[in-house]
Amino acid sequence: MARPGAACPPPARRVMVAARALLFWALVYSYCGVCACIAGLRLLWSIGRRPGETFRWVVRENPPSCLNDPSLGTHCYVRIKDSGLRFHYVAAGERGKPLMLLLHGFPEFWYSWRHQLREFKSEYRVVALDLRGYGETDAPPHKENYKLDCLIADIKDILESLGYNKCVLIGHDWGGMIAWLVAICYPEMVTKLIVVNFPHPSVFTEYILRHPSQLIKSGYYFFFQMPWFPEFMFTLNDFKVLKSLFTSQATGIGRKGCRLTAEDIEAYLYVFSQPGALTGPINHYRTIFSCLPLQHHEVSMPTLLLWGERDAFMEVEMAEITRIYVKNHFRLTILSEASHWLQQDQPDIVNKLIWTFLKEETKRKRE
């Protein structure tokens, strides 16, 4: 949007901008069609091999005991005045301690931070949130309710509702995207930023257009633009795709990592097998192409970026490029044997790196 009083661009430039926009959306919808065709072929293959199993979908009625483990913290709810939405979170550590706010990725929920809830509660009030549309948090029905502006405002409003004006903010995957944006838009609210396996959003948008390999790895962004079909594909074979994401050789937690137990997997299946439980999470992606690229880029607080080199969805080259957007102390650590699900895959190492960063920054500030 042009600034008030600014001169209108010349006709040639307007044509160029319109042409670029047309090409961009042509790419988005063309690739969306390609991804849909691939998904359709997989569906037909599954029906041909196991027709009886393909459409099996079991709704888990009762949560596994791990979701109510008292060592993880207390289940809490907060209703935001402006949006009217009720958010669910799990909190560990004493009230009044510095706040550490944890934002999960897709397809995850608060439980993906179980190792960090136990670890950091000694010195922080640790809050693992269910993002808008996930788990026990309210899920507005329309995709417009999941624009990045809404997701950023959620974090600001939740922080204030918890009685804090600043926090250590940690995000993984899509939660990492939100964490970057909160740090950019509300720098006064973030004392330290820690992101796991997601580059600065500007790096992501620029890199994906120049590297076809990353475009292919991010194919699900395009596939998710379709209505209802992505949710349907997730339910096939009793959520085989969901299980595979965390356990397969290609995308799952590595052989040297902390594998999910059968109960951990049941926790994910309990949350996402509920009717309509996938629409909110996938709606996060359905407005992404109208929200990027960013107008503002720089991050001004100390930042730690952790990266699992065996990430099947994000190329590691983006991690180093992120450095140029952080105008403060920046530390990047790449773990060679770790997967995309880094804080679950290598929790001991991740927790140690976070402690080192937090204490290092405190010491630097004192000096």
Catalytic residues: 173, 285, 340
Which tokens sit at 321?
């490029």
With vertex at residue 128, the alpha carbon angle to CA 88 and CA 66, rounded to the nearest 5 degrees, is 85
Residue 113 neighbours by CB distance under 10 Å = 30
Residue type, 262: A
Instruction: Tell me which long-range contacts 28-31 makes (C-beta under 8 A, separation of at least 24).
Output: 28/222, 28/225, 28/289, 29/225, 31/215, 31/219, 31/222
Among residues 212, 253, 210, 275, the alpha carbon closest in space to that of 61 is found at 275
CA distance 270 to 55: 18
Task: Report the chain's terminal Cα–Cα distance, integer Å.
Answer: 44
| Nearest-5° Cα angle at 166, 160 to 171 | 95
One-letter amino acid at 261 equals T
Retrieve residue 213's tokens: 């390999």
Q: What angle do CA 150, 152, 157 make, to 5 degrees?
A: 90
SS (H, E, C) 344-360: HHCHHHHHHHHHHHHHH
Residue 38 CA to residue 275 CA, distance in Å, equals 25
Q: How far apart are CA 106 and CA 363, in angstroms?
A: 34
